[in-house]
Amino acid sequence: MATIPVVNSDADVDTIAKHLETEGCVVIERLASERLLGEIESQLEPRLREVNTINTEFSGLKTKRFNGILSQVPAAQALALHPLILASVERMLLPYCARVQLNYDGIMHLMPGETAQPLHRDGNIYPLRHPAPAYIIACMWAQTDFTVENGGTCLIPGSHLWEQEREAERDQVINTVMPRGSVVMYVDGAIHGAGENRSNGPRTGLSLQYNLAWLRQELNMYLTYPPEVAKQFPDALQRLIGYDLAGPYLGFIEEGSPHLALEDGPKPEIRERTTPALDAAIGRVKRIPFG
């Protein structure tokens, strides 16, 4: 049976990308420090007390979920901008885009008694056939230990290479087992789902997904983080959530780059809707055939 590959926090980008290409998933153990985890926990706990478990069956009837964690749990910004994660994401996605963007963020807090989520592919939000080049890289960070008993994310390694119509069998599913502070990365075609929580405590994960910047984001980042909120973020995070051109003429506002909406001072007289760097990036981007 296939297994979910596991690497240490000092793994290089080549190793991580190779696992994402071959198995479609990889666990990086203990990538977040205990200090950062403590900051996240102190900001997360008050918010979790306010959130109920009113969801659809797909989202879990005993699961607490909320989005907008970059502003509600500011310490999580360090996860979104982690250099190893971003470098690995860019290695996988930049062949097909000028830049990457954050596609989704959210908390998934499984309470005891939660049932297993239906197996699915994240990539199914777009009408693209599998197998296909990667266009989403999902990262599930373990705020608590992930175990078989508490519903560690279920994955089928290698399923990103299956034909679209192939059905998953339950005996092919493997629970992600990883200590607190670890992260499991998987590609859009990997069949997965939250596990069943048979333990006596909650299982808390922070989900951060990245995709090709020319795709519509799953979470509407501009309403989740309007300019008055995004202005408080570091420049790199502002651009990562979408306040930047995705390519020449892609995503512009009247003045040019949407990043100008976050900048104080007079607007430029010349409305530039591309940059030399974007022009160069488009020159090296591979064209994806359809049909």
- Give 117-132 as a DSSP string: PPPB-GGGGS--PSS-
Band of residue 2 on the pLDDT scale cut at 50, 70, 90: confident
Residues linked to residue 142 through DSSP beta bridges, in sequence order: 205
258 contact partners, CB below 8 Å, separation of at least 6: 242, 243, 244, 245, 251, 252
pLDDT, tens digit (0-9, with 9 covering 90-100), for 212-260: 999 999 999 999 999 999 999 999 999 999 999 999 999 999 999 999 9
Residue type, 253: I
**CA neighbours closer than 13 Å in the CB half-sphere of residue 170:** 5
pLDDT, tens digit (0-9, with 9 covering 90-100), for 62-74: 999 999 999 999 9
- Give 235-266 as a DSSP string: HHHHHHTT-S-SBTTBS-BTTBSGGGGG--SP
Answer whether residue 291 shows pLDDT above 70.
no
pLDDT of residue 270: 87
Answer whether residue 146 shows pLDDT above 80.
yes
10 Å CB burial of residue 41 (0-12, 13-18, 19+) is middle
Answer whether residue 120 shows pLDDT above 70.
yes
Geometric angle at alpha carbon 178, from 174 and 182, rounded to 5°: 125
Helix (H/G/I), strand (E/B), else coil: 37: helix
CATH numbers and ranges of domains, the chain? 6-224 (2.60.120.620)
